[in-house]
């Protein structure tokens, strides 16, 4: 039985009143020495025991009457069989990220997870998910706890980084509108939340944190780069004491040299190793007690093939139609030019296929002139398969075409006509400077406000995130997620037409970061993180041969662990929960509507009031006899 207004059940506490009165008025038994007891014996004596029973019955009837009254006000109803069958769910989310591969850490995590299964309320379905970059449902919610324990037993720590958002979102989906608890078994690593990450959890779900504890002291290779015939390795000491790090270089499976450095507690140091000619290299550090997975980092020395960015313009002549964007992307850094840029006319995409498109790390669309349906579908599929697109909504971009290409996630309206010249300057203002797109600017992100946008498109969406706004309030940069890929939409152009962005120093890093961000870490082309490993390659560190696309030669890529996993920074439970957005439980709201309808059909309160009246009549009769 359920109640529509269960708060009225508090009124049942009034049932204590007759009990209290009964206790207060209770008198000790009177004893009298009497001479003619035999005459009493002859009389039909009402024995005290019987009277006591009758009084208890009266008390019970009065208590029952009050309880029934409270119950009637609480509007009870019999839940439908489907609803009655709804039980709670406990989802155990087990962190299997790299940081938990330190000796003893994952065993402890497994034990905590098993404890959580054992603690789950009786009758609750229990499910197990393991998570790092992605989420794996190890055991779907069911009453079979042995299955859940078995899934936990078979889980192992991997090489990917922890992503709490994906884990919590998956767990919330598995709750499926039911009440439940999400037990997150983790080491609370700070980098598990990306900047701006928000997990969406129903407000009815409870989140419990099972803290595995701080990982042991650890040495990690967090970066390796080849520069000027040398190999530079960055070594981090994530421990409370200074340590001597011994670093070894292996080039094409042959020792390439050693290096050493003394690194202070929680500090990093660069170790320069002699350069060597070869194809692949790996750098390792001696660390028998820490996380093993981050003791090595791999590098492809043959970096002739830089990641390619496809610029879609009206005719494909990037030197004329995308001059600034092209030069921003090919601008050389410490390691040479960041990207190769290939231009194509929008109409030419009609002859392309998916394989040709996937050879490019990212696509920057500056024109939709002539972009036919096939091209639009090709681009949409490219994003769904994990590709990244940057759309600059300039004069050459048709809003409807771009919206269709983005799967209808976004609405793009042409720039409004301004009747009078604006007196204020329209500039760019990031919504969250911690977002990867703006992290590169650091404290200098305010320099973005120096860019003046004369014309803009009106971009709006309910499903995409706003990363930056114009100072006049309109959306400036929006991020949409489609399948495995990302799209960034800039509500202005990139060719010095509607704004003076290309003439500012912030343009080059913005372009490169935008492409890097939409390409999801694949920007280097020859180096991937474990979580972003291309399809067909194992999700573990090493150097692997990427299956060639048609007409191309095989390419070697290095897959490394996310260096963020070597960061020992930890969250407090409060900080963890601060990144969780509580969603109003729509399923529960719908359930309440159903409950109300059920209650109105049944009208149980009327029957209960009837029973209460009957109880009071019986009480009156017995009370009259007892008086």
Partner 1 sequence: MQSGARERQFLDPAVVARLGTLELKARTIVEGFLSGLHRSPFKGFSVEFAEYRQYMPGDDLSTIDWKVYARSDRHYVKKFEEETNLDCHLMVDISASMGYGSRGITKYEYASCLAAALGYLMNRQRDACGLTAFDDKIVSMLPASARPGHLRALLVTLSRLELGRETNVSKPLHQLADSLTKRGMVVLISDLIDEPDRVIRGLKHFQFRGTDVIVFHILDPDEIEFPFDRATRFEDLESEEEVMAVPSVVRPHYLKAIGELIDHYKRELGSCGIDYHLFSTKEPLELALLAYLSTRARAL
Binding residues (CB under 8 A) for partner 1: these are: 27, 29-49, 51, 627
Q: How far is the CB of 619 from partner 1 (least distance, A)?
A: 19
Q: How far is the CB of 57 from partner 1 (least distance, A)?
A: 15
Q: Are 522 and 259 in contact (CB under 8 A)?
A: no
Q: How far is the CB of 589 from partner 1 (least distance, A)?
A: 57
Give residues with Cβ within 8 angstroms of 23, minimum separation 6: none
Give first-to-last CA distance, the chain, whole Å.
Answer: 37
| Rounded Cα distance, 310 and 455, in Å | 25
Q: How far is the CB of 616 from partner 1 (least distance, A)?
A: 23
Q: Nearer Cβ to partner 1, position 51 or 373?
A: 51
Conformation bin of residue 224: beta by default, left when phi > 0, alpha when psi is -120 to 50: beta
H or E stretch covering 337: strand 336-337
Q: Nearer Cβ to partner 1, position 39 or 122?
A: 39
Counting Cβ atoms within 10 Å, is residue 169 exposed (0-12), middle (13-18) or buried (19+)? middle
| Rounded Cα distance, 51 and 29, in Å | 13
Q: Nearer Cβ to partner 1, position 54 or 465?
A: 54
Q: How far is the CB of 617 from partner 1 (least distance, A)?
A: 22
Give residues with Cβ within 8 angstroms of 147, minimum separation 6: 139
Give residues with Cβ within 8 angstroms of 554, minimum separation 6: 545, 546, 547, 548
Q: In DSSP terms, which residues pair with 237 in a beta bridge?
A: 219, 267
Q: Nearer Cβ to partner 1, position 47 or 417?
A: 47
Query: What does DSSP say about strands 308-313 and 340-345: parallel, antiparallel, or unpaired?
Result: parallel
Q: Nearer Cβ to partner 1, position 48 or 584?
A: 48
Q: How far is the CB of 206 from partner 1 (least distance, A)?
A: 54
Q: Nearer Cβ to partner 1, position 47 or 462?
A: 47
H or E stretch covering 169: helix 164-175
Joined tokens for residue 384: 């769904």
Q: Nearer Cβ to partner 1, position 35 or 443?
A: 35
Q: How far is the CB of 39 from partner 1 (least distance, A)?
A: 4
Q: Nearer Cβ to partner 1, position 38 or 241?
A: 38
| Rounded Cα distance, 622 and 616, in Å | 10
Q: How far is the CB of 621 from partner 1 (least distance, A)?
A: 16
H or E stretch covering 71: helix 48-73
Q: What is the DSSP letter of 572?
A: -
Counting Cβ atoms within 10 Å, is residue 342 exposed (0-12), middle (13-18) or buried (19+)? middle
Q: How far is the CB of 28 from partner 1 (least distance, A)?
A: 10
Q: Nearer Cβ to partner 1, position 146 or 627?
A: 627
Q: Nearer Cβ to partner 1, position 38 or 417?
A: 38
Q: How far is the CB of 51 from partner 1 (least distance, A)?
A: 5
Q: How far is the CB of 44 from partner 1 (least distance, A)?
A: 6
| Rounded Cα distance, 512 and 437, in Å | 9
| Rounded Cα distance, 175 and 181, in Å | 8
Q: How far is the CB of 36 from partner 1 (least distance, A)?
A: 6
Q: Nearer Cβ to partner 1, position 45 or 443?
A: 45
Q: How big is the chain, counted in residues?
A: 627
Q: How far is the CB of 49 from partner 1 (least distance, A)?
A: 7
Say what angle helices 48-73 and 604-626 make with each other, to 10 degrees: 160
Joined tokens for residue 395: 């004069």
Q: Nearer Cβ to partner 1, position 41 or 422?
A: 41
Query: What does DSSP say about strands 308-313 and 362-365: parallel, antiparallel, or unpaired?
Result: parallel
H or E stretch covering 77: strand 76-77
Q: Nearer Cβ to partner 1, position 44 or 85?
A: 44
CA dist 184 to 117, 128, 133, 599, Å? 12, 10, 15, 37
Q: Where are the alpha helices (DSSP H) in 253-353?
A: 318-321, 323-329
Across the beta sheet with 254-263, what order do the strands follow?
Answer: 254-263, 243-251, 280-285, 296-300
Q: Are 258 and 247 in contact (CB under 8 A)?
A: yes
Give residues with Cβ within 8 angstroms of 308, minimum separation 6: 339, 340, 341, 342, 359, 360, 361, 525
Q: Nearer Cβ to partner 1, position 45 or 574?
A: 45
The angle formed by the CA atoms of residues 159, 165 and 166, to the nearest 5 degrees, is 65
Q: Nearer Cβ to partner 1, position 39 or 332?
A: 39
Q: Nearer Cβ to partner 1, position 59 or 429?
A: 59
Joined tokens for residue 266: 């929680």
Q: In DSSP terms, which residues pair with 343 in a beta bridge?
A: 311
Query: What does DSSP say about strands 230-238 and 218-227: parallel, antiparallel, or unpaired?
Result: antiparallel
């Amino acid at each position: 039985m359920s109640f529509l207004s269960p708060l009225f059940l508090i009124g049942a506490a009034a049932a204590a009143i007759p009990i209290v009165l009964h206790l207060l008025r209770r008198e000790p038994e009177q004893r009298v020495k009497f001479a003619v007891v035999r005459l009493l014996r002859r009389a039909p004596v009402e024995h005290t025991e019987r009277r006591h029973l009758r009084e208890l019955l009266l008390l019970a009837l009065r208590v029952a009457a009050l309880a029934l009254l409270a119950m009637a006000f609480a509007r009870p109803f019999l839940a439908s069989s489907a609803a009655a069958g709804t039980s709670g769910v406990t989802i155990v989310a087990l962190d299997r990220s790299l940081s938990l591969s330190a000796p003893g850490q994952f065993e402890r995590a497994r034990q905590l997870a098993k404890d959580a299964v054992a603690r789950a309320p009786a009758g609750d379905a229990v499910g197990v998910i393991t998570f790092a970059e992605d989420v794996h449902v190890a055991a779907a919610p069911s009453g079979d706890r042995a299955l859940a324990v078995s899934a936990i037993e078979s889980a192992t720590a991997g090489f990917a980084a922890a992503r709490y958002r994906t884990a919590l979102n998956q767990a919330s989906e598995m709750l499926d509108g039911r009440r439940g608890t999400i037990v997150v078994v983790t080491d609370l690593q700070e980098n598990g939340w990306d900047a701006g990450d928000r997990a969406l959890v129903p407000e009815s779900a409870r989140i419990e944190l099972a803290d595995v504890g701080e990982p042991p002291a650890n040495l990690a290779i967090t970066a390796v780069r080849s520069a000027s015939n040398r190999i530079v390795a960055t070594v981090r000491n994530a421990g409370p004491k200074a340590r001597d790090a011994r670093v070894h270089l292996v080039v094409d499976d042959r020792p390439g040299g050693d290096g050493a450095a003394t690194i202070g507690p929680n500090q990093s140091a660069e170790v320069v190793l002699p350069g060597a000619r070869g194809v692949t290299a790996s750098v390792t550090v001696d660390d028998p007690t820490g996380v093993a997975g981050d003791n090595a980092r791999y590098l492809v020395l043959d970096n002739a093939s830089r990641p390619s960015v496809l610029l879609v313009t009206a005719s494909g002549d990037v030197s004329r139609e995308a001059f600034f964007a092209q030069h921003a992307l090919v601008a050389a850094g410490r390691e040479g030019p960041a990207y190769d840029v290939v231009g194509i006319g929008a109409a030419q995409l009609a002859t392309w296929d998916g394989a040709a498109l996937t050879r490019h790390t990212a696509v920057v669309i500056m024109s939709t002139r002539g972009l036919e349906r096939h091209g639009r579908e090709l681009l949409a599929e490219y994003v769904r398969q994990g590709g990244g697109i940057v759309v600059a909504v300039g004069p050459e971009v048709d809003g409807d075409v771009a919206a269709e290409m983005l799967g209808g996630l976004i609405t793009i309206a042409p720039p409004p006509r301004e009747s009078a010249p604006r007196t204020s300057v329209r500039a760019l203002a990031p919504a969250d400077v911690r977002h990867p797109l703006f992290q590169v600017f650091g404290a200098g992100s305010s320099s973005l406000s120096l860019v003046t946008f004369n014309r803009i498109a009106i971009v709006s969406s309910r499903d995409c995130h706003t990363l930056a706004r114009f100072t006049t309030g309109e959306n400036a940069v929006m991020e949409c997620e489609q399948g495995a890929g990302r799209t960034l939409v800039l509500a202005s152009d990139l060719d010095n037409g509607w704004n003076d962005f290309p003439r500012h120093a912030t343009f080059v890093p913005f372009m490169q970061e935008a492409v890097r961000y939409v390409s999801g870490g694949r920007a280097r082309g020859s180096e991937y993180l474990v979580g972003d490993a291309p399809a067909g390659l194992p999700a573990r560190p090493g150097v692997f041969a990427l299956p060639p696309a048609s007409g191309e030669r095989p390419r070697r890529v290095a897959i490394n662990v996310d260096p963020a996993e070597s960061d020992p920074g930890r969250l407090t439970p409060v900080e963890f929960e601060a990144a969780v957005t509580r969603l109003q439980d729509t399923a529960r709201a719908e359930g309440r509507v159903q409950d109300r309808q059920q209650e109105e059909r049944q009208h149980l309160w009327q029957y209960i009031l009837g029973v209460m009246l009957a109880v009071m009549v019986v009480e009156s009769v017995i009370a009259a006899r007892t008086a």
